[in-house]
Structure 1
Amino acid sequence: MTDDRAPRPTPTDATPEQLTELGAGRLPGMLGITVTAIGEGRIEAEMAVTPAVLAPNGYLHAASVVALADTACGLGCRLSLPEGTSGFTTLEQKTSYLGTARSGHVRTVATLAHGGRRTQVWDAEVFDEDGLRIALFRCTQLML
């Protein structure tokens, strides 16, 4: 078995399929996170609600919600890096939970709220299969 800890480069003209593939063998891939759409300062992704992403109480695990939203925001940040930067690191993140899911799919829409030279702020909303908003997520990224 090989040790695949090296960073994976993001193609500048990436497709949703290529961004999904970046997560293969890593947490996003293990959770089944799929990128469904890319736009200027916007990423959409989804994840099936399977037993693997549930908490022991049978509801969607809070960390699964964060993983979905943070993956979308992080991929969006990678696509929006200012010229002269080599990457980013997370400074802060917050999640407010408004509901949950026990089956179906959950999806997120991540949007760039602030795209500065030193920091980016990304917001994401997470929705259940019926389109009900179940979480609000915000993260601040430091450009490297």
Structure 2
Amino acid sequence: MKKLKQVPLEQINLMGKNTMMEHLDMKCVELGEDYLVATMPVDHRTHQPMGLLHGGASAALIESIGSMGSTLLIDLSKEVPVGIEINANHIGGVTDGSVKAIGKIVHAGSRTHIWQVDIFDEANGRLICTGRLTVMIVPRS
């Protein structure tokens, strides 16, 4: 299995500048050889109307952590990662605080990557959502 390039977390977090990742305050907080860990607050930006973490915010976190990870597996001067399929199973609810997502590369092929991402309530470690992201690696035009 390919290993993720080890770069400073600040460099990874700069990729989210002026994007939804910045708006939702997603931050990469840990980088391993085959995984990334990111956090996201649960507040007015990520709530649905009933005051719970919005499933779309969880899906955005899944897509973001997988895409961040795929950028660390490829040569960005020649290729770009593009999410092509995402699924999310919402297991529990959370109303405030923050969540932690752990994204692990499951498959790192030359044209597709698959990421498994689990999202936990940071306050108690309870699993909130689990999902998968498929990323296509396309030539830079």
Q: TM-score range by the shorter chain?
A: 0.7 to 0.9
Runs of 4+ in structure 1 over 6 Å off: none
Asked whether the equivalents of residues 85 and 143 of structure 1 are also in contact (C-alpha less than 8 Å), the reply is no
Asked whether the equivalents of residues 112 and 137 of structure 2 are also in contact (C-alpha less than 8 Å), the reply is yes
Name the residue aligned to 1:66.
59
Name the residue aligned to 2:50.
57
Alignment of 1:50-129 (within 5 A): 50-81=43-74, 85-129=78-122
TM-score by length of 1: 0.86
Asked whether the equivalents of residues 82 and 117 of structure 1 are also in contact (C-alpha less than 8 Å), the reply is no
Name the residue aligned to 2:129.
135
Asked whether the equivalents of residues 41 and 80 of structure 1 are also in contact (C-alpha less than 8 Å), the reply is no
1:27 to 9, 20, 25: 20
Deviation at 1:83, TM superposition (A): 9.3
Deviations 1:11-32 (A, max 9, x none): x552112211211211000000
SS in 1 for 2:51: coil
Rate the CA distance shift 1:142–1:57 in 2: closer, same or farther, 3 A.
same
In structure 2, distance between residues paired with 1:84 and 1:14 = 16
In structure 2, distance between residues paired with 1:19 and 1:84 = 16
Asked whether the equivalents of residues 87 and 143 of structure 1 are also in contact (C-alpha less than 8 Å), the reply is yes
Aligned residue identity for 2:103: A
In structure 2, distance between residues paired with 1:68 and 1:142 = 18
Q: How many residues align?
A: 133
Aligned residue identity for 2:41: A
Asked whether the equivalents of residues 83 and 133 of structure 2 are also in contact (C-alpha less than 8 Å), the reply is yes
Aligned residue identity for 2:100: R
Give 1 or 2: higher strand fraction: 2
Question: Could you list the runs of 5+ residues in structure 1 that have no partner in the other structure?
Answer: 1-11
Cα RMSD of the aligned pairs, angstroms, is 1.7
